[in-house]
Structure 1
Amino acid sequence: MKLVYFSPHFPTNGTDFCDRLHQAGATVFGIGDAPYDHLAPRLKAALSEYYRIPDMEDGDQVLRAMGHFIHRWGRIDRFESLNEHWLEQDAAIRTDFNIPGIRSEFVENLKHKSKMSAFFKKAGVQTIRQHKYVDRAGVEAFIADIGYPIVIKPDQGSGASNTVKVCDDRDLDAFETTKLSGVNYVAEEFIDGIVLTYDGLVDRDGQVVFAASHRFEQSIMEVVNTNSHLNYYCLPSVDPEVEAAGRAAVKSFGIREKFFHIEFFQTRADNRIVALEINMRPPGAWMTDAINYSYDMDIYRAWAQMVVNNKVGGPFTGRYYTGYASRKNHIRYVNDHQAILAAHGDRIVHFAPIEDVFSRAMGNFAYQFRSEDFDEVKAIVRFIQDVER
């Protein structure tokens, strides 16, 4: 198999994905904007050739890079970035060069929240009531039907960017004056609940071959809008209702040979599972590593084996709750780094700064830690994020 990996140097886990592809027997090529000398040594070792382009947003430059690889190496079997930002470009390249995977004619269904709901409904999964934000009169009619509060967000986007909770007419007035020109928005009912994800791998035959779940008790929207810190947990098992809804959604979307990351609300009042959105990529924010820590596995290797050989290995059994707790530079905390290591070093499996582009949601610095005791993991979160009063 010959695979082109787009932007292998960023995010940094691209190195792991390329390394495991190489180990699985694939010939891996890279296209990126970083100088070759700046690539990590393991990434250099995994790539048979790297083609640098000045502007990764320029489709013509990507086409020229692909032309180079095909002229030198022959037919390319796969093209991947595993990154939401490049979803449309990935699809365009696959379409232009007849490469298997998501094509341009389908990609709009994965980019626009307004189009996802039809697939969830087809799967028999309850969805959030939604209205395209065409004009204020239409939104007011939507509010008259479901009541305040509502959430307004870009129809296309991720990470809760430009997403706001609207609680009354005054908030709606404020949104009208600050909304971005040229951005299409949707209004959704506000769901009071936690987010449970369904993350995993689906093979060439459309079979889910691995799945895990993360639990977010905070609202990402609130974290972003208040510039606060974040915490979440990777669970050692998947809630049966999330599993059923997730599998139905994977089948409805017709996903093949992909990572998937599906977000559901679990309502606080009655524990209903309500679909939020689907992403055709690995879960972000160190969540791939959290899966590894919870299941004592290598999800990068499992993905690569699935792509190259349509096998993932396993079975993989969850054992640990893995927590993620970030800190923000502008917040004063009770316990410093050394105190955290002294108190919980035997449970901490990773800590590092976060890339600036992700820091608004993910924090400036973060820790990962695991335990078979969920209460202990929650206590570590509190210790890390204890704020000076």
Structure 2
Amino acid sequence: MNIIALEALTFGLGRLAAASRKHGCSLTLFTRDKTVYDYELSLLDEQNIKVVEIDTFDDHAVVEMIRNEKDVVALLSSTDTWSLHCLDVSKSLGLPAQNADAVRIARDKYQLRNRLYEAGLSSAKSQLVDPRKFDNESVIKDISYPCIVKDTAGTGSQNVWIAYDKEDLLQTLDKAAQEVLRGQIAIEPFFSGTLYSLETLSWKGETRVIALTSRITSQEPYFREEAFSSPVTINHSISAALEVWIDNVLKSIGYGNGFAHTEFMITDTGFEVIEINPRLGGVQIGEALCQSLDINIYEAWIEMALNKRPALMDVPLNIHKGIGQLIIYATETGEFSHIEGLDRLSAHPGSPRFYPTAYSGKSISTIVDQRASIGILLAEGETSEVALLNVFAARNKIRVVMKG
């Protein structure tokens, strides 16, 4: 049995390949740029994964290539960018897939906000605007400030802006008109609260919370993700309320199968969804949970592909340790050279480990979002709080060096 991964998260291929072998399957990665996975592929034996380089945005080419593969039983997509392509290709080939309507709503931040509002699960609505053609008076009417202006299909903290007043909003829309967008532009309320994410797994309409992750972002006006820790433990009553709430949220969009990564805020008036990603969390959230729970949670991908109830829906989730992680960014634009000081991490508490995301020579064109990422630094601790402190302390020992 052959399982095709239509691209993947940067990290996790090794875990996914191990899960495939355990269940008697082979794993084939379709990718337009295998250098994205250099770190993971360098650790994998060629017998454990087959790599096919192809334009993965070309659905027709992907369909024809899959028809040339033997014994294909499922097509997986663990990354936002290809989630809709995966649906279309699966439909063309008659392969099992997630609820297409639910995935499309999750990937459209405008639709998602308004669906939640209609279900009584958000306090405000979203509105669409064409940044290249709009009427000033109609756009600014009934807007509460500050507000968020965002790409409805955005990812990686790209094309998200905050506007503090009318003039700021109009200037932001002018700026958005100059950007390359994945979707349309939506204007949403700015929620004031503490940011978290929930990792959940759903199977046939039943949802289980796997973990709560803390999230630290950069100072306004940017929303660059900086640090994470998991699993976070909170007051039992809040934890119980979150389980009921996320079940209702996912049901409201018809999302009943698969991993979901829901970013949300705890505000003074309740929980507010920021976005829902129809996948496992990115960065190194998957690896963090594997280490923390001492379970290969990627097995759930394979079990669902084989139409089996994932064991992760039922096994005890015993926390063995906390994991903290920091995204290491370039501090200036230019050409990346190397990381200095990695040799000093071996003597630091928490067993810090660096996972590279950039190669020497990578061009850094901006430092305001995740395109400036150089790598991810992980550290452990007896709790997620201690792990986060360990990784911040370890960060002080390394330095990003740019060429020139």
Interval of TM-score (by shorter of Structure 1 and Structure 2): 0.7 to 0.9
Give SS of 1:275's match. strand
Cα 1:7/1:249, change in 2 over 3 Å: same
Distance 2:137 2:377 in 1: 46
Using the TM superposition, give the Cα deviation of residue 81 of structure 1 relative to its aligned residue in structure 2, in angstroms. 1.9
Instruction: Tell me, yes or no, if structure 1 residue 368 matches structure 2 residue 365.
Output: no
Q: Per the alignment, do residues 386 and 4 of structure 1 end up closer, same or farther by CA in structure 2, a change over 3 Å counting?
A: closer
1:128-143 to 2 correspondences below 5 Å? 128-134=124-130, 135=134, 136-143=136-143
Kindly provide the amino acid, as one letter, of the partner of residue 42 in structure 1. L
Counterpart in 2 of 1:188?
Answer: 188
Which residue is equivalent to 2:273? 275
Matching of residue 216 in structure 1 with residue 215 in structure 2? yes
- Aligned Cα RMSD in Å? 3.3
Residue of structure 1 in register with 2:318 after alignment:
317
Residue 223 of structure 1 deviates from its aligned partner by: 5.2
Query: Judging changes above 3 Å, is the alpha-carbon distance between structure 1 residues 336 and 86 closer, same or farther for their aligned structure 2 residues?
Result: same
| Matching residue of 2:152 | 155
CA distance in 2, matches of 1:35, 1:373: 35
* Cα drift, residue 100 of structure 1: 1.8
Distance 2:34 2:157 in 1: 31
Structure 2 residue matching 1:114: 3-state secondary structure:
helix
Question: Could you say if the C-alpha distance between residues 115 and 176 of structure 1 is closer, same or farther in structure 2, counting changes exceeding 3 Å?
Answer: closer
Q: Which amino acid aligns with 2:310?
A: K
Q: Is the 8 A contact 2:90 2:97 kept in 1?
A: yes
Matched, 1:66 2:62: no
SS for the counterpart of 2:44 is helix
What per-residue deviation string (whole Å, max 9, x for no partner) do you get for residues 229-259 of structure 1? Answer: 7112112447333222212222233334411
Structure 1 residues 353, 129: closer, same or farther in 2, change over 3 A? Answer: same
2:237 matched to 1:240?
no
Partner of 1:174 in structure 2? 171
| 8 Å CA contact retained: 2:2, 2:74 | yes
Could you state the TM-score of these two structures normalised by the residue count of structure 2? 0.78
- Percentage of identical aligned residues: 17
* Equivalent in the alignment of 1:377: 387
Q: Distance in 2 between matches of 1:40 and 1:381?
A: 25
Match of 2:296 among 285, 290, 298: 298
Runs of 4+ aligned structure 1 residues displaced above 6 Å come to: 356-359
TM-superposed deviation, 1:200: 2.4
Question: Does 2:118 correspond to 1:112?
Answer: no
Structure 1 Cα separation of the partners of residues 129 and 33 of structure 2 = 39
The one-letter code of the counterpart of 2:46 is K
| Cα separation, 2, equivalents of 1:127 and 1:18 | 42
Q: CA deviation at 1:385?
A: 5.2
Between Structure 1 and Structure 2, which shows a larger proportion of strand residues?
A: 2
User: 2: CA distance between counterparts of 1:257 and 1:151?
Assistant: 30
More helix by share: 1
Structure 2 residue ranges without an equivalent (≥5): 333-339, 400-404
Report the AA paired with residue 87 of structure 2. Answer: A
One-letter amino acid matched to 2:48: A
Go from structure 1 to structure 2 and tell me whether the alpha carbon gap of 1:185 and 1:340 turns closer, same or farther (over 3 Å shift). Answer: same
Q: Distance in 1 between matches of 2:95 and 2:26?
A: 15
Task: Give yes or no for contact 1:80–1:90 (8 Å, CA) kept in 2.
Answer: yes
**Which structure 1 segments of 5+ residues have no match?**
none
Q: Which residue of 2 aligns with 1:83?
A: 79
SS of residue paired to 2:78? coil
Determine the C-alpha separation between the residues in 1 that align with 2:19 and 2:228. Answer: 27
Q: 1:95 to 1:173 in 2, by over 3 A?
A: same
Instruction: Judge conservation of contact 1:127–1:275 (CA < 8 Å) in 2.
Output: no
* 1:207 corresponding residue in structure 2: 206
Q: Indicate yes or no: 2:46 matched with 1:44.
A: yes
Question: How far has the Cα of 1:42 moved from its partner?
Answer: 2.8
